[in-house]
Amino acid sequence: MQTFGIGLAGMGNVGAGVFKHLTLNRALLRERLGCELEVKKIAVRDMARDRGVSVPAGLLTTRWEELLDDPAIQIVVELMGQKDESLRLILGAIERGKMVVTGNKALLAEHGQEIFEAATKHKVPVFFEAAVAGGIPIIKAIREAFVGNHIRSIHGIINGTSNYILTRMSESGLGFAEALAEAQAAGYAEADPALDVNGGDAAHKAIILASLAYGFWVPAEKVFVEGIERITSSDISFARKLGYVIKLLGIIKADAGGEIEVRVHPTLIPEKHVLASVNGVFNALAVHGDIVGDTLFYGRGAGQDPTSSSVIADLAEAAAALQSPRSNCGFIPHGLYGTCQPIDQIVSEYYLRLTVEDRPGVIAQIAGVLGALNIGISSIFQPEGEEGETVSLVLVIHKASNAQMASALEQIGALPCVKKAPRMIRVENFA
Ligand code: HSE
């Protein structure tokens, strides 16, 4: 039986999980793949660190460059999560004809075009299932299962940490910081958790999904990104009163003319929509293809085991590609879609929370500003029980462009009766 050698770069949470499960499920993989997958070398930063798995000391090195020069290694698994070093490792592996498996979403979002141009030139596949939505096989689904479809839309909860935080805030009344600390302790958060809460990590994943769905690498500067840092428990409870829940959503859509939109922001979604019941670290993606119609993918979006499952699936793909070479390197560019709409032009519905003086005539002033900008209000309420000189006023706004709403917020914020900066959250009714 053939043995394929693996060089593992990075032995953090996911790297340790990959090693553990490759060892535990070795017999199953051997039966299913008809070959052996054997880790030949592991590059780590710190040789002495306890990783919770027993690794023969002879496998460890502190020099990732050794993976490139080792002839026993045919597959390089990049889990270092770095920028420059990870890029050098990946490009170096491709140049040497070694297949690549990576979960490095930030790197793919930024350097995907360069990586796949090199992969195509050298006819070396690069696999990246673990880069998006942990254990959910969404990359394989979009690339293979939906190959015959124009993808009309993808709505995704694609950051486990922020979904965990929003769930804990909503269900247990936990504060933002406590909920984040729990997610970090469970190993869901990025090394820099700011990326989880500021929408950056979800944006990396949205860029990868949109690029794969539409056949060109979407530039990061075209993607609107807002995080969950300013969501308050009041927003969560007001949204609930209106029949919505708040999720950090990646929204990717294409119109009939081939223009696409890619955005990540907190979003009010109807509590009856299936994505509203996706809680904790779970991710879910609703994908609509022109042939297949509506589909839904659900699973753990972060954590050692689910992410390892995706890396191992890619290792199996790499082993199959080594046995029978293929022309598809993992990303096929085409020119059927092209431009990415700027946020100003994108039309949405909105939740607006204002802190206003508690006196007659205030609602009329606000409605006047919106009316003059031709923006319709679909509902309005003033929560009961608030006392003092100011009260909250919550409005749901009909479809309007983001540019229209920017003007409205500027004018409303300048009214003397409005006492704090208006808070706006986009609403998605999936219509
Ligand atoms: N920090 C990421 C998340 C890990 O919370 O979703 C998975 O990419």
Q: For residue 339, tell me if it sits in a domain.
A: no
Q: Which residues contact 127 (CB under 8 A, 6 or more apart)?
A: 99, 100, 101, 102, 314, 317, 318, 330
Cα–Cα distance between 134 and 306 in angstroms, integer?
6
Q: Catalogue the active-site residues.
A: 205
* Shared-domain flag, residues 267 and 194: yes
Question: Ligand 1 mean position to 42 CA, how many Å?
Answer: 23
- Same structural domain for residues 103 and 144? no
Classify residue 254: in a domain, yes or no.
yes
Whether 96 is covered by a domain: the verdict is yes
- Nearest Cα neighbor of 241 from 392, 364, 138, 93 is 392
The residue to which tokens 């950056």 are assigned = 200
Query: Which pLDDT value is given to residue 387?
Result: 75
Q: Is residue 335 part of a domain?
A: no
CATH of the domain at 35: 3.40.50.720
Shared domain for 155 and 260, answered yes or no, is yes
CB 353 within 8 Å of CB 234 = yes
How confident is the model over 237-274, as pLDDT tens digits?
Answer: 999 999 999 999 999 999 988 999 999 999 999 999 99
State in Å: Cα 34 to ligand 1 middle: 32
Q: Which atom of ligand 1 is nearest to the CA of 105?
A: 8
Cβ atoms of residues 376 and 397 within 8 Å: yes
Residue 259 lies in a domain: yes
Same domain, 163 and 232: yes
- Tell me, using a 6 A CB cutoff, whether residue 112 lines ligand 1: no
Domain termination residue (choose one: 269, 300, 331) = 300
Distances, alpha carbon 258 to alpha carbons 243, 254, 289, 430, in Å: 33, 6, 14, 19
Residues 203 and 237 in one domain: yes
The verdict on 266 and 152 lying in the same domain is yes
Q: Sign of torsion, CA 142 221 428 130?
A: positive
Residue 11, CB half-sphere, CA atoms under 13 Å: how many?
A: 26
> Does one domain contain both 257 and 271?
yes
Residue of 196, 264, 309 to test ligand 1 pocket, by largest number of atoms within 8 Å of CB = 196
Number of domains composing the chain: 3
Q: What is the CATH number of the domain that holds 398?
A: 3.30.70.260
| Domain of 354, in residue numbers | 345-427
The CA R_g of the chain, rounded to the nearest whole Å, is 24
pLDDT in tens, the chain (431 residues): 999 999 999 999 999 999 999 999 999 999 999 999 999 999 999 988 888 899 998 999 999 999 999 999 999 999 999 999 999 999 999 999 999 999 999 999 999 999 999 999 999 999 999 999 999 999 999 999 999 999 999 999 999 999 999 999 999 888 889 999 999 999 899 989 999 999 999 999 999 999 999 999 999 999 999 999 999 999 999 999 999 999 999 999 999 889 999 999 999 999 999 999 999 999 999 999 999 999 999 999 999 999 999 999 999 999 999 999 888 999 999 999 989 999 999 999 999 999 999 999 999 999 999 999 999 999 999 987 777 789 999 999 999 999 999 999 999 999 999 999 999 999 999 98
For residue 337, being part of any structural domain is answered with no
Domain co-membership, 98 together with 209: no
Predicted confidence at residue 412, as pLDDT, reads 98
| CB of 250 shorter than 6 A to ligand 1 | no
Residue 62 is classified by DSSP as S
Judge if 66 and 215 occupy the same domain.
no
With b for 16 or more beta-carbon neighbours within 10 A and e for fewer, the 125-144 pattern comes to bbbbbbbbbbbbbbbbbbbe
Q: Note whether 24 and 129 are same-domain residues.
A: yes
Residues 153, 268 share a domain: yes
Residue 253 covered by a domain: yes
What spacing in Å lies between the alpha carbon of 196 and ligand 1's midpoint? 7
CA distance 175 to 234: 12
Q: Is the CB of 81 under 6 A from ligand 1?
A: no
Q: With the C-alpha atoms ordered 380, 411, 342, 220, is the resulting torsion angle positive or negative?
A: negative
Type of residue numbered 337: Y
Domain termination site, one of 288, 323, 358: 323
Tell me, what's the pLDDT at 16?
97
| φ/ψ bin of 245: left (φ > 0), alpha (ψ from -120 to 50), beta (otherwise) | beta
**0.95 exceeded by the pTM?**
yes
Q: Choose one of 266, 300, 334: the last residue of a domain.
A: 300
- Residue 333 included in any domain: no
Structure tokens at 158: 């694609």
Q: What is the CATH number of the domain that holds 209?
A: 3.30.360.10
Residues 219 and 243 in one domain: yes
